[in-house]
Amino acid sequence: MSHSIRGLRREDLTHGIVQVSLDLKNLDDGLRMAAIAAEAGADWLEIGTPLLLAEGTRAVRALRREYPDHPLIADLKIMDGGYGEAALYAEAGADAVVVMGRAHDATIQRVCEAGADFGLLVMGDDMAADDRIAEAKRLENLGVGMVLHHIGHDHRNMHRELGLSPLTDLPGIVAATTIPVQAVGGLSIDQAVSCPTIGAGVVVFGAPLAIDDETSFTIPEGDLPAVLGDAIARVHATPVNR
């Protein structure tokens, strides 16, 4: 099958699909975690920011060789030099890149231009936006193909008393946009599985499912294949509320 996900529409998502984030610090661990994820039924593989910082395009090329039919997401968190960075990872084999909403409009537009030229899905990350719903609208208007609604790890953990969760604004973001939406940041497995029922059909499993400590960037001990396999099966069985 083709692994191209550019042009994915919200109406294409009838049931949830799963993106597993490889938030690891070396390629060997990344490949081991990818094997677990693929065996468990993951649809997309995300080369997480720690792995990209450690291994760069080498990680993308290695995963593309091993998983020729899986969409590969490069969580670059692009802030500047948008066209060049997106093109670099597209040429390495990535199918999607992440640009930050906090970047200038020009950067987001340049990433979207690279997306058009190289067949990339562009994900716009709303982390740290003051008004998440307005940010989602802005990102769609600038041309991104998916909104990544993201409550950051540091902010979330520094303000535990606030109980910050992407579920708070998720219904409003889905209602305000027409493109696919995903939600990340501190969700439990049950909460993540519920996202398609809110209209966010692309479910991300990473920390804390993939790593016990979000600062360790290592594969945890325990029955991860069974836990992940069960979670993925539940998402695949969940209809998307469109």
Question: What pLDDT, on the 0 to 100 scale, is given for residue 215?
Answer: 53
Query: Do the domain assignments include residue 205?
Result: yes
Question: pLDDT of the chain along its 242 residues, tens only?
Answer: 357 899 999 999 999 999 999 999 999 999 999 999 999 999 999 999 999 999 999 999 999 999 999 999 999 999 999 999 999 999 999 999 999 999 999 999 999 999 999 999 999 999 999 999 999 999 999 999 999 999 998 888 889 888 889 999 999 999 999 999 999 998 999 999 999 999 999 999 985 454 445 555 566 656 888 989 999 999 999 999 98
Query: Do the domain assignments include residue 213?
Result: yes
Question: What pLDDT, on the 0 to 100 scale, is given for residue 2?
Answer: 52
Question: What pLDDT, on the 0 to 100 scale, is given for residue 216?
Answer: 53
Q: What is the DSSP string of 109-135?
A: HHHHHHHHHHTPEEEEE-TT-SSHHHH
For residue 102, the enclosing domain spans: 10-236
Query: Do the domain assignments include residue 2?
Result: no
Kindly report the CA angle at 66 between 210 and 208, in degrees rounded to 5?
5
C-alpha distances in angstroms, 15 versus 20, 103, 144?
A: 16, 32, 22
Query: Do the domain assignments include residue 1?
Result: no
Total count of residues recorded for the chain: 242
Query: Do the domain assignments include residue 5?
Result: no
Give the whole-angstrom CA distance, residue 30 versus residue 15: 27
Give me the number of domains the chain comprises.
1
Tell me the CATH number at 110.
3.20.20.70
Question: What pLDDT, on the 0 to 100 scale, is given for residue 224?
Answer: 86
pTM of the model as a whole: 0.94
